[in-house]
Amino acid sequence: MSANTVAVLESVQRFLARHHGLYIKGSWQPSASSTRLSVFNPADGLQISSSADANEADVDKAVASAWRAFTSGVWANMLPAGREKILLKFADLVEQNSEELAQLETLEQGKSINISRAFEVGCALNWMRYTAGLTTKISGRTLDVSIPMPEGARYQAWTRKEPVGVVAGIVPWNFPLLIGMWKVMPALAAGCSIVVKPSETTPLTLLRVAELASEAGVPDGVFNVVTGSGAVCGRALTEHPMVAKVSFTGSTATGKGIARAAADRLTRVTLELGGKNPAIVLKDADPAMVIEGLMAGSFLNQGQVCAASSRIYIESPLFDSLVSGFEQAVKSLSVGAGMDTNTHINPLVSRTHQQKVASYLDDAQRNHAELITGNNGPTGEGYYVTPTLVVNPAAELRLNHEEVFGPVVNLVRVKDAEEALRLANDTEYGLTASLWTRDLQAAMSYTSRIQAGTVWVNSHTLIDANMPFGGMKQSGSGRDFGPDWLDAYTETKSICVRY
């Protein structure tokens, strides 16, 4: 163990040792299922805790609790300022417990404790407070109407935004706390109740956060957490007839299945899915800025980021010097356990995912791709993958068009911006992209030609609570964040009065 390894807090050790149940109606409930799901530390592959493996009966109980809380009006009809105050207190409690949450996150997910502190908890707090503020900004419009009958009658109309009902939140394993808050907070701010399901790989932080929500004053039944497999628990939740809206982040394949099932009941769905995100580097770009920005954009959280840059197209005059720059940068990354504050690259989330990412590199090697590798991870049972640059991969390689979701990035030489744009858009995905240039004219004209929900210029992966985020094409539907975020959690009701 390195001298930079963070000591695990006693409160974290106690939490890991608990026999976690399901958080339903403001308290811990045993699961109806007797099986448990193991939680592993990705740094050494050892089991650190376990969670309940909820079945359909458990999900039914959680949704019924959310439904009762919703229809009682205890939350939906609370004055907006009352809800806002409770949600701000909720954020304060998360902040007070931030080190505990950051450690839990690193221990179950693998990421650097530095990232857990700054992004997972730090950004979750930003989003929590921003979203709490939206509670008191919900508004409709007054509408002058011209209804022609009976002759002489006058009408006045207005719209109201009403909470949609029970929300199902499905949270992936790459940012369990942050993305968890992206489901919980807009639902609560809008006045909905929620049942949220974290990934079976990373259930712990949301279980801890549920207790903090109750402590802040969120009424019983408004915020419920069920843990279990996607195939049983996730499916039962998203297909439950009392669920009015599903908010899902994860793979395109699972997202499509959820959308298909939702179509039967016309359940509202927001889908934030995968990406194969391009970065286009023009010949006038600032090389130091490109390397700093795209190393972070590609390798943050070991590349397990839906918005990560994974295909970098570089105009020919800059290509060779940038490849050397990236090579130097990738070889300087230290690889090790997330609890070691001096490491840059940490294990992937699970053995299954490690094997999936490794299979892309095996495929590239078998096909004689040019690979530039960084440092290897520690030997042993940790789920490490060596950070790798793939230089000019052949078009037919899987890693050219499939989402790898690991510390692997393609560097591709292009002759000009037109070729880069064509290749960048040649994908079924459309989540994010970036353009690197000092030429304002190029920035203004090319950004509108890139097919992606978010396009950055001279940065990548920088998201903000006030900036809408979501995908085009197969990267999803709907937008999260921004001033209109709660629209997806409310129904617009028109009220029309004759006078």
Task: Report, in Å, the least distance between residue 251 CB and ligand NDP.
Answer: 3
Tell me the per-residue interface mask from 187 to 216 with ligand NDP, x by CB under 6 A, - otherwise. Answer: ------------xxx---------------
Residue 437 binds to ligand NDP (criterion: CB under 6 A) = no
Beta carbons of 336 and 378 less than 8 angstroms apart: yes
SS3 196: strand
Contacting range for ligand NDP; rule: CB under 6 A; set: 104-112, 269-277, 316-324, 392-400: 269-277
Contact status: 249 vs ligand NDP (CB under 6 A): yes
Q: Give the shortest CB-352-to-ligand NDP separation in angstroms.
A: 8
Is 151 considered catalytic here? Answer: no
Task: Walk across the sheet containing 155-163 and list its strands.
Answer: 142-144, 155-163, 490-498
Does residue 234 interact with ligand NDP by CB under 6 A? yes
Among 4-12, 127-135, 249-257, 412-420, the segment contacting ligand NDP (CB under 6 A): 249-257
**Preceding peptide of 150 cis, ω within 30°:** yes
Q: Which two tokens stand for residue 274?
A: 């995968």
Under the criterion CB under 6 A, does residue 251 sit at the interface with ligand NDP?
Answer: yes
- Work out which of 87, 164, 170, 408 binds ligand NDP, going by CB under 6 A: 170
200 sits in which H/E element: none
**Identity of the residue, 135 or 249, whose beta carbon is nearer to ligand NDP in the bound complex:** 249
231 near ligand NDP (CB under 6 A): yes
CB of 278 to ligand NDP, least distance (A): 16
- The C-alpha atoms of residue 488 and residue 486 are separated, in whole angstroms, by 5
272, 370, 403, 419: the active-site residue: 272
Residue 310 in the binding site for ligand NDP (CB under 6 A): no
Q: Give the residue with the Cβ less far from ligand NDP, 170 or 486.
A: 170
In terms of CB distance, is 437 or 474 closer to ligand NDP?
A: 474
Adjacency order of strands within the sheet including 370-373:
370-373, 388-391, 408-414, 309-315, 277-281, 432-436, 454-457
Q: How far is CA 10 from CA 99, 193, 211, in A?
A: 11, 33, 18
Q: Of 208 and 353, which has the nearer Cβ to ligand NDP?
A: 353
Do residues 239 and 263 touch, judged by C-beta distance below 8 A?
Answer: no
Name the one range near ligand NDP by CB under 6 A: 54-62, 244-252, 310-318, 454-462: 244-252
Question: CA-CA distance, 89 to 146, in Å (whole number)?
Answer: 46
Bridge pairing between strands 309-315 and 277-281: parallel
Least CB distance to ligand NDP at residue 191 (A): 24
Look-up of token digits 């069920």: 226
Helix H or strand E segment including 222: none
Cα 476–Cα 480–Cα 482 angle in degrees, nearest 5:
145
Question: Catalytic positions, please?
Answer: 272
Chain residues binding ligand NDP by CB under 6 A are 170-174, 199-201, 229-231, 234-235, 238, 249-251, 254, 257-258, 272-274, 306, 356, 403, 405
